[in-house]
């Protein structure tokens, strides 16, 4: 399969880099500044699973002249509109678009632009970030990519995709219920993002404060209630794992939104919290703690725009 990775940042750079390292036909769609950096220094991965320095194939939006078999979309949600314009020429009648963005709003935007069939479902689980040298640093050992048809079917094209992604240096899994998997990740992201950003600290720091663990439980309860009302009730086992992770003493766990906030960067507040809260409102689900985090982060975002 000819694979186009949209974005060579913390997520796309990691999974795309591992695919390239495993000999897959991978090209990265990047902006000019990142092109210059990667051309000069290579795609560099720092990881507990092994470091790597690669010389990636790069393309800019203006240089795309033929469709790809797979477009792996890994940009931040607030950059989606610009990204769609950039990779549009790479989408042909048989192209699969595999987005691993957070939340669910991106699915609506992608299907409106490229059609229902083009867009499959995806979830990625990886903790990584770009350091000040442009290197992709993996912060924890987990690294999973889950994908599937949004209607739950196991189609020939997904079987081909599964063969391509297996054995590429990360956990790859074909799912027959990818929409549920996307919602379950959203519950985790909304909960962890809300509590770490609202409290401005790691899980360990939050739990060390009086009432911190109870606050984490309440935020998770709100998120689970939204998903349940929307027809995607998380399993008890999943909620138990999230609860344990969000109340672990001494844990350095944070959310990607909190890490972006600490850097003074934009955050995905509308897509991770705003859309989530709106969907709960439709069903009459009260989410005061999620709402508090949302307002807090919108104020932060507004401050960035005034700079």
What separation in angstroms does the CA of 275 have from each of 39, 98, 130? Answer: 38, 21, 27
Is the pTM above the cut of 0.85? Answer: yes
pLDDT tens digits, the chain, 307 residues: what are they? 999 999 889 999 999 999 999 999 999 999 888 989 999 999 999 999 999 999 999 999 999 999 999 999 999 888 999 999 999 999 999 999 999 999 999 999 999 999 999 999 999 999 888 998 999 999 888 999 999 999 999 999 999 999 999 999 999 999 999 999 999 999 999 999 999 999 999 999 999 999 999 999 999 999 999 999 999 999 999 999 999 999 999 999 999 899 999 999 999 999 999 999 999 999 999 999 999 999 999 999 988 877 6
Cα–Cα distance measured from residue 270 to residue 99, given in angstroms and rounded to the nearest whole number: 17
Q: Residue 43 forms beta bridges with which residues?
A: 54
CB 176 within 8 A of CB 154: yes
Q: Which residues, including other chains, have CB under 8 Å from residue 93's CB and lie 6 or more apart?
A: 67
Integer-rounded Cα Rg, in Å, for the chain is 19
User: Token pair for residue 271?
Assistant: 């897509």
Cα–Cα distance measured from residue 100 to residue 148, given in angstroms and rounded to the nearest whole number: 12
Sheet strand arrangement including 70-73? 57-59, 25-29, 2-6, 70-73, 96-99
| Beta strand extents in 63-214 (DSSP E only) | 70-73, 96-99, 121-130, 136-148, 171-174
The one catalytic residue in 133, 185, 263, 306 is 185
What separation in angstroms does the CA of 72 have from each of 1, 50, 99, 145, 242? Answer: 12, 23, 6, 11, 27
The one-character DSSP state at 153 is -
Residue 226's CB is within 10 A of a number of other CB atoms, namely 25
Looking at residue 153, its pLDDT comes to: 96
Q: Which residues, including other chains, have CB under 8 Å from residue 28's CB and lie 6 or more apart?
A: 4, 5, 7, 8, 12, 13, 16, 38, 43, 56, 57, 58, 59
* Angle, CA of 76, 23 and 123, to the nearest 5°: 30
Active site residue 306: no
Cα–Cα distance measured from residue 263 to residue 255, given in angstroms and rounded to the nearest whole number: 13
CB 11 within 8 A of CB 124: yes
Cα–Cα distance measured from residue 19 to residue 13, given in angstroms and rounded to the nearest whole number: 10
Looking at residue 267, its pLDDT comes to: 94
């Amino acid at each position: 399969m000819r694979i186009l990775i949209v974005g060579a940042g913390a997520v796309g750079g990691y999974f795309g880099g591992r695919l390239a390292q495993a000999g897959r036909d991978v090209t990265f769609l990047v902006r000019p500044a990142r092109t210059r950096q990667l051309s000069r220094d290579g795609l560099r991965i720092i990881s507990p699973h092994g470091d790597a320095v690669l010389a990636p194939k790069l393309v800019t939006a203006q240089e795309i002249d033929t469709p790809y078999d797979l477009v792996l979309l890994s940009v931040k949600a607030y950059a989606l509109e610009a990204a769609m314009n950039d990779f549009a020429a790479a989408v042909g009648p048989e192209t699969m678009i595999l987005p691993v963005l957070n939340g669910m709003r991106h699915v609506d935007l992608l299907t409106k632009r490229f059609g229902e069939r083009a867009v499959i479902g995806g979830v990625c689980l990886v903790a990584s970030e770009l350091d000040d040298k442009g290197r992709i640093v993996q912060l924890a050992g987990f690294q999973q990519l889950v994908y599937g048809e949004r209607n739950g079917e196991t189609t020939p094209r997904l079987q081909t995709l599964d063969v391509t992604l297996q054995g590429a240096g990360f956990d790859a899994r074909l799912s027959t219920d990818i929409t549920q998997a996307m919602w379950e990740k959203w519950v985790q992201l909304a909960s962890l993002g809300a509590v770490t950003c609202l409290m401005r600290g790691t899980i360990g720091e939050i739990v060390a404060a009086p009432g911190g663990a109870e606050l984490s439980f309440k935020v998770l309860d709100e998120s689970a209630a939204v998903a349940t009302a929307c027809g995607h009730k998380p399993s008890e086992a999943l909620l138990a794992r999230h609860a344990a992770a969000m109340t672990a003493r001494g844990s350095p766990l944070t959310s990607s939104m909190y890490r972006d906030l600490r850097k003074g960067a934009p955050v995905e507040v509308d897509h991770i919290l705003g859309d989530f809260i709106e969907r709960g409102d439709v069903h009459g689900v009260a989410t005061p703690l999620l709402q508090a985090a949302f307002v807090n982060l919108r104020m932060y975002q507004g401050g960035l725009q005034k700079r």
